[in-house]
Chain A
Amino acid sequence: SAVISQKPSRDICQRGTSLTIQCQVDSQVTMMFWYRQQPGQSLTLIATANQGSEATYESGFVIDKFPISRPNLTFSTLTVSNMSPEDSSIYLCSVTRTEQPNYGYTFGSGTRLTVV
């Protein structure tokens, strides 16, 4: 199965600053997904990142706040811009499973972000 390395694992940031989260996959994948996991809430899809095209954002998420890069088939970044305490959350990248079953995702370990 694909192995996902996500960095940083955690960070404490000042409000108004930005943080870029990196996601590296050990195999080439077409699509990468970014999720947010807020305390006491379900995982929410932020956007889908296709290599070579603009990311597709879900309702409630905008590119200015969460710009995404996807320079190649094994790497993606998510930036959380102009942070506020409401952005404190766990951010997870994921890819479609490369083994059976062919549904559901493989997730990275997540980035635990605290904004103060």
Chain B
Amino acid sequence: QKEVEQDPGPLSVPEGAIVSLNCTYSNSAFQYFMWYRQYSRKGPELLMYTYSSGNKEDGRFTAQVDKSSKYISLFIRDSQPSDSATYLCAMSLGSGNTPLVFGKGTRLSVIA
């Protein structure tokens, strides 16, 4: 079993749809959870971050962490064509220079 599992998609939705992206993980010691967005020919950029369990909202984006289920989610409301990208979940045991463990990424296409 890989440490972090993420459905690679691709996922195609119409503009305005609610998108749900998910990852599961096996190491219960993970404390920091992140979502990165990667556009084609670009490096990943940090989109959302959460420490431990709970929800976090930023505009159209909501990140959820359920440590009891070892499950994290990213929701995108009112999806836009500009949201078309690959979304990678990542997590770490600590802050600072602690290495990240990534999922494979989910490729999302939002169709106008």
Contacts and interface: CB of A to CB of B under 8 A. Distances in A.
Nearest to B49: A101
A40 B104 contact: yes
Contacts of B4: 42
B41 A112 contact: yes
Contacts of B103: 42
Contacts of B96: 96, 102-103
Contacts of A110: 41-43
Given A45-B99, A103-B92, 6 more contacts: A30-B97, A42-B105, A101-B32, A103-B34, A104-B46, A110-B43
Interface of B: 4, 6, 8, 32, 34, 36, 41-46, 49, 51, 88, 90, 92, 94-105
A43 B45 contact: no
A111 to B, nearest CB: 10
Interface of A: 4, 6, 9, 30-31, 33, 40-45, 48, 92, 94, 96-97, 101-110, 112
Given A42-B88, A43-B88, A104-B32, A92 B43 contact: yes
Given A40-B8, A40-B104, A109 B41 contact: yes
B89 to A, nearest CB: 9
21 contacts: A4-B43, A42-B103, A42-B105, A43-B44, A43-B100, A43-B102, A44-B102, A94-B43, A96-B97, A101-B32, A102-B95, A103-B95, A104-B32, A104-B36, A104-B46, A104-B100, A105-B46, A107-B43, A107-B45, A109-B42, A110-B43
B49 A103 contact: yes
Contacts of A105: 46, 100
Contact of A97 (B46, B94, B99, B102): B46
Q: Which 3 residue pairs are nearest across A and B when measured between Cβ atoms?
A: A107-B43, A103-B95, A42-B102
Contacts of B101: 42
Contacts of B45: 107
B43, B46, B95, B105 pick with most chain A CB within 10 angstroms: B43
